[in-house]
Structure 1
């Protein structure tokens, strides 16, 4: 909010004594305005979920028809409160409107979602990372309502009626690398002009996408573009808006945020703090955040940041008052985050429901086809255990490994997939039926699966990268198991470290050897921050992940088997890593050995490393004498350590060796020796002090005389 000192027209009118005109001018000068926003809709036309708000949890929230009713009711309430005076209600979305969508939207390239947002009267939107899922060219096509190239997609897409979006896309921090221009003629910002009697009030909308999106998108779909700093981009265009007299500014930011006790936190809050530093007069009043699907309703300085969870389960209802003379908000706007609660007795919007019914009927011939049966009539869930492993994650990767072996790569060892690519439980019908649509909902992206050569060292590094960034991104896997621990140098940012990695048969992974793995092309491009996969060697590819998962279920069915899955325990947390103790029986030695050390006193000053039962080390007065042959049974090498059976691990680094001990031995007692120069300096100092004392004595005698 940019503060200005302006003598308002209403005050001038009162001063002139024109009372009737004064009453009218109050309404003309102040415009109540409502902004309603959603984020991360992900084509969730009929999906429901839990809306977790501050102090409120609503189950089975959502569906587009019910969201439409809630939005309409909120607008009616606002207009009723401001009856008889000008007012305005505006609807916006903060990215990820499409992508990672259920079958009734995804099979039709998310065009039903475009139609639904048209029916719900959304005016402005920005890009999220999922708008890049099939390339910005395809997103631009569906927003323009153009027909695809015949045969490019399933024929149901060709037959589906196309409709252009009514939204205006704004994106300020994305440019084409070749032209240095924003792609597809999209604009960095737009201005909405709202007439108020004989005046006009203006509101600016700037759009930005998170700078981390290249890590979340296939390389081929982002490598043409350069993403710019969010705060710097907002500052640039907020300055342009201010120069045009626009001082009420809302930012549509696909940038993560949270809040606590009315204070916004996270990347979006940091973005505004940086903006305030580089351009204090920015006049950004409101940010619609997104990306991390969290309730947000809090302030950063004079700026309000909101986020309405995700997938239409809730929405942001922001209200404020604009002053036509200052062209700004009278005070900071306020907001409520409202759950789309099915228990309130609201009817679903019939027009939105009709769009969804048409989509359902169109995709039914594909989605309702039975592809297999499950052993139990219950969903195979993506619910995570404490180690962030899920039953459906283990099933998906097992499917990828199996189909890769059948597709010309019989020696592939492992399968890895990013957990974010698994978008739903595998829904099982009451009779045990698994449909095409259910499988597609689990793996909706259609990422190409690629076979790569990967070293054991790279495997360790990739697994460790799960424990960067507070475990924000992690993997599901097959054909591999590992243990991990909380190391001594653990931090909140990097809480754990991998200890040992094994193949499924228990063979330990050799860091120096090369293995083969199946990963999706998202991971191969370094997606979700797994940069290690970028350096693996590509040797082949198989079908997209969606097709592979469906094929696996069909193969199980053809073999006369039923599908089952559970958490396999590929990830094991261990608490303690201990040294191996010598075997109770003497071990045969290939060569004669020196006389063994008495086993009752296994601590040697040569190697003062704490054993399993620690003994307080004694610091020798003089450096220890180095024996001719070190006693190896007492202190095993670090690589010989093992985890305690059936307990959780702490990685221990053993530092052994005579040189290391000698370097840390206690210094000899007594004064250090001095050199000849030091001795000369000492003699001269003593001589000088004696001379001064003598001179003082002589002087005192003279005074007495």
Structure 2
């Protein structure tokens, strides 16, 4: 937060409040009365009534101009709703929810809000018209209050403000924008943590909060709406689009304006926050939870009742302390129905509001009628962009199309072309992406090529029709290996197309994981390191763990590029502009090593220290009723025992896994370890790892023999130690025993000595 705000915040909290005068901040919105059913001007009217006021807040986030696209909606239990979305159906569900609330509650009040990213990264029907159809649709759906997200910065806030106020554009790249019947937005933008650099001024006259009076003329409650956006904007958009602004701390901003609102008598407070969140079983995680926890510390008396989250496109519904936190997924696939009760005596919610996050399901039993006005707007936009979608964007090297059919390793020519394009387009945007990965299920058609080898806009769009947001995330080599391995579970139903890397994989004996990654390399042949960071382009479906790729959920969001549709089209257009033909083939980016059986482990060449351990170490026969394991090795060597096999390690020098029993040879090299804790009776094998003082290590399998019928005189291990260094058999003093000892030593020496494996299978 700016210094002036932080100082003022401290003063306010110290003296316990401020006067009701609001001259301290001139960014205060006038209160607007909301009481009843929506009329043409967005006001609400109902017969006067005293008592508590039922309120419903319908919300969405991250719409991204999704006028006519559909996708999968997932709740926090993983339940999937297929083909969810489209603006006309979303509007129908919102209308139905409002009508049901009105019928169920006397004097019911409804407000519609959004949490940013309404525009930007949009599919063609909205994006080619600079998202002006989306503004019209949001007006038709009566969204009263909203905030901004990172994608409102995509072309700069100046262009976003032009769209909001309905001004004509300066440019018309496709020749279809100038004639569009645009209109100004009716949604009030609130944003409290974006100010012009070095000042205290919020840009474009936007307000940090607004107040809506809910109820009737004689029985009403003021509800405050505060807006904030993630302060990570500088990591998400082009420098030229953020460098003119300062981004204030989200928690301090919320606490500051919450205090001001409460001083005005506004105790019912809703935060519209373009900030990520997730939930599981009503527990909220992510930045939204962290920020609200900070607000509670900064200002324990805060009265934030609801927090509409956004940005990471994930279902969220839970409570942080006393605040309900919700998120509707994205792209009109779901919506939030938050309900509560306002008490005019306290000017607050009676209790933490309840909420449902619901899919826009086209196959539901009670599916509503689509909104006819919204539907007309969407169809008009589709007709206007059709002249663009039919135009040529590229030239193929050959006729016949580029196939999405995969080989035995699940690699396809079209998958390679798509992901190559994602890496290339990220680099054009100034993002030095290392790799790209996409789910094969998102490739919906072969790339059609005309008889004259032309590729049209529509043909490319049919390949990647969803308009999924393309995220640039940071992942370690270990995380990359995890998601690649996740292709080989669940009967290999879900798999990835990749660019910028290649890997080999091997068969395993695990029926639940029949294959696993063996080696990974970058395009230039350098190995991918487990602990090194890499930038990977993926879509938001994968980022949320879609198709079971949970490894992507641990990635760190760094940036974003255009949706997958526009990215693929832009890549082909760029090739055409450069005079390059479009071609693609299978390149063995995924390669099975020895497809019939798992490969033998690589055995590294032993070093001198390991050779000394091998020559010096002998273990006495171990019987299942023995209490002690005896033997001889190098003086002061460490012996680590494992019940069964030793866990595999990636390298010889890797840290040794924790053993079941650890001992040490004495100064003469004698081994004497009590193994009763291992309960070896009935077991077949132990494994010993012997380490010298330089941490060289060698593995020795130890067979557990059946119980002895006759206990004979034990071997003199002191003489064994002396004999081992002289490369002679030990002398026991009896001719008949020499034969027994000789036989025993020969038997032990035949045990295979296995070095620590350099790499796991």
Contact 2:503 2:518 in 1 (8 A): yes
User: 1:218–1:194: structure 2 CA closer, same or farther, 3 Å change rule?
Assistant: same
User: 1:293–1:109: structure 2 CA closer, same or farther, 3 Å change rule?
Assistant: same
1:48-67 equivalences under 5 Å are 48-54=70-76, 56-67=79-90
- In structure 2, what is the equivalent of residue 694 of structure 1? none
Q: TM-score, normalised by structure 2?
A: 0.59
- In structure 2, what is the equivalent of residue 359 of structure 1? 381
Contact 2:193 2:247 in 1 (8 A): yes
Counterparts of 2:142 and 2:185 in 1: how far apart (Å)? 10
Counterparts of 1:607 and 1:97 in 2: how far apart (Å)? 72
2:573 paired with 1:550: yes
Counterparts of 1:403 and 1:318 in 2: how far apart (Å)? 40
CA shift at 1:378, angstroms? 10
The answer to which structure has the higher helix fraction is: 1
Contact 1:403 1:552 in 2 (8 A): no
CA shift at 1:333, angstroms? 1.1
CA shift at 1:247, angstroms? 0.4
2:248 paired with 1:225: no
1:398-409 equivalences under 5 Å are 398-399=420-421
- In structure 1, what is the equivalent of residue 724 of structure 2? none
1:294-373 equivalences under 5 Å are 294-343=314-363, 344-369=366-391, 371=393
- In structure 2, what is the equivalent of residue 137 of structure 1? 158
Structure scoring higher RCO (CA < 8 A, sep ≥ 6) equals 1
Counterparts of 2:400 and 2:328 in 1: how far apart (Å)? 36
Counterparts of 2:409 and 2:64 in 1: how far apart (Å)? 27
User: 1:347–1:434: structure 2 CA closer, same or farther, 3 Å change rule?
Assistant: farther
- In structure 2, what is the equivalent of residue 160 of structure 1? 180
SS in 1 for 2:297: helix
Q: TM-score, normalised by structure 1?
A: 0.63
2:265 paired with 1:251: no
1:292-691 equivalences under 5 Å are 292-343=312-363, 344-369=366-391, 371=393, 394-399=416-421, 416=434, 425=443, 427-428=445-446, 435-437=456-458, 439=460, 464=476, 467=479, 478=499, 480-481=501-502, 501-503=521-523, 507-508=525-526, 546-552=569-575, 568-569=589-590, 581-582=604-605, 603-605=611-613, 620-621=634-635, 651-652=650-651, 654=653
SS in 2 for 1:139: helix
2:299 paired with 1:279: yes
- In structure 2, what is the equivalent of residue 41 of structure 1? 63
Contact 2:419 2:436 in 1 (8 A): no
- In structure 1, what is the equivalent of residue 129 of structure 2? 108
Gaps of at least 5 residues in structure 1 are 1-23, 408-413, 450-460, 486-495, 512-516, 521-527, 534-542, 584-595, 609-615, 625-648, 666-705
Counterparts of 2:600 and 2:275 in 1: how far apart (Å)? 40
CA shift at 1:40, angstroms? 1.1
Counterparts of 2:164 and 2:569 in 1: how far apart (Å)? 25
Contact 1:396 1:549 in 2 (8 A): no
User: 1:59–1:421: structure 2 CA closer, same or farther, 3 Å change rule?
Assistant: closer
Contact 1:112 1:356 in 2 (8 A): yes
Contact 2:279 2:285 in 1 (8 A): yes
Aligned residues: 532
User: 1:415–1:244: structure 2 CA closer, same or farther, 3 Å change rule?
Assistant: closer
Contact 2:63 2:118 in 1 (8 A): yes
- In structure 1, what is the equivalent of residue 22 of structure 2? none
SS in 1 for 2:385: helix
Contact 1:422 1:442 in 2 (8 A): no
1:176-195 equivalences under 5 Å are 176-195=196-215
CA shift at 1:434, angstroms? 5.9
- In structure 2, what is the equivalent of residue 79 of structure 1? 102
CA shift at 1:110, angstroms? 1.0
SS in 1 for 2:162: helix
SS in 1 for 2:329: coil
User: 1:577–1:189: structure 2 CA closer, same or farther, 3 Å change rule?
Assistant: farther
RMSD: 5.3
CA shift at 1:230, angstroms? 1.6
- In structure 1, what is the equivalent of residue 511 of structure 2? none
Counterparts of 1:427 and 1:554 in 2: how far apart (Å)? 24
Counterparts of 1:404 and 1:204 in 2: how far apart (Å)? 40
